[in-house]
Structure 1
Amino acid sequence: MDDIVKQALKKWPNVPHCYAWLALDARGDWYMRDDRVQAAGPFPQVKGSRILHEKLREFIHRNYAADGAGCWFFQNGPQRVYVELEAAPFVWRLERSGAAVSASSHTGQAAQVHSAWVDEHGRLFLAADIGLGIVHTLDMELASDAVEAGQWNPVEIGFSELPGRFNYRLSPAALQMSAAE
């Protein structure tokens, strides 16, 4: 977390959390979801405005974390902005390293893969030391090389089972709304 963010948290510790305004799709793209977009429908059916500003994306990446309930957020100064997830907290980009295939997250963190999972839609998820992520669609050829080489042995799992098994929430906003009722 950036030092400026830590300082803002100390200075303003009681800023209310923000829900449903930021989302991460299955390709690692961030989306802003204002009131109009939220009223038009849930994420990912209605995505919002894709964040293209490189420095803003880098700031989000450096300040992206999860709370104890498995809700992922971006700490924006003193305000915690919870993230709606299309598939998983991370999106893996793959790279060949000699005979092996390595993974790094959409936030730029290297990851050590522990297990591989495939859902009913044929999407490949990797569980790693930093969390669960979905393999980017552009990297499926490298992923298939890793599977064929025996580096990863995917286990079938229903998509709806992944959040519980790997302790993350697709929609912190839905959790917050149900807690408020």
Structure 2
Amino acid sequence: MIYTETKLKGAYIIDIEKRGDNRGFFARTFCANEFKKHNLNSKFVQGNMSHNANKNTLRGMHYQSDGAEEVKLVRCTKGALLDVILDIRKDSPTFGQYISVEITEENARQVYIPKGFAHGFLTLKNNSEIAYLVSEFYTPGKENGIRWDDPFFKIDWPIINPILSDKDQDYPDYTK
């Protein structure tokens, strides 16, 4: 696997290294030893997936807090997504900054998201799926979110009217 640290310290884009022949290819998507070499958390306790029937579905920006913060390892298993992570670590020099990465079933790219980040994605094709591992169990009551178009963070989404859940569109404006 090829690990590329992003401008947001601790966040990585991980590209697979395909070994192929006339049958197709094989590639590793996770290796605890390699994660350890890069000082990445490799303890995952839960695997999740989300199927999204329609292009332009936006989910996010989600995070857990108060001792339930999660590391995530995200990949697109079907279709295509614009994956967005936002640094909400108040003591970070990149607080309030974000990156967006196109992840698709073809490129098999993954995003490693450390604790202290909000995460969301926009589907770029119908019937897109995301699969991700998390380091903490889902904890009701510690789930939080930032509205996708919050004026403080100014995330540049390539859409004006995404398909949203009521919860995702009703998050209040961020206040310091």
Q: TM-score range by the shorter chain?
A: under 0.3
**TM-score, length basis structure 2:** 0.25
Greater fraction helix:
1
Q: Which has the higher contact order (CA 8 A, sep 6+)?
A: 2
Greater fraction strand:
2
Larger Rg: 1
**TM-score, length basis structure 1:** 0.25
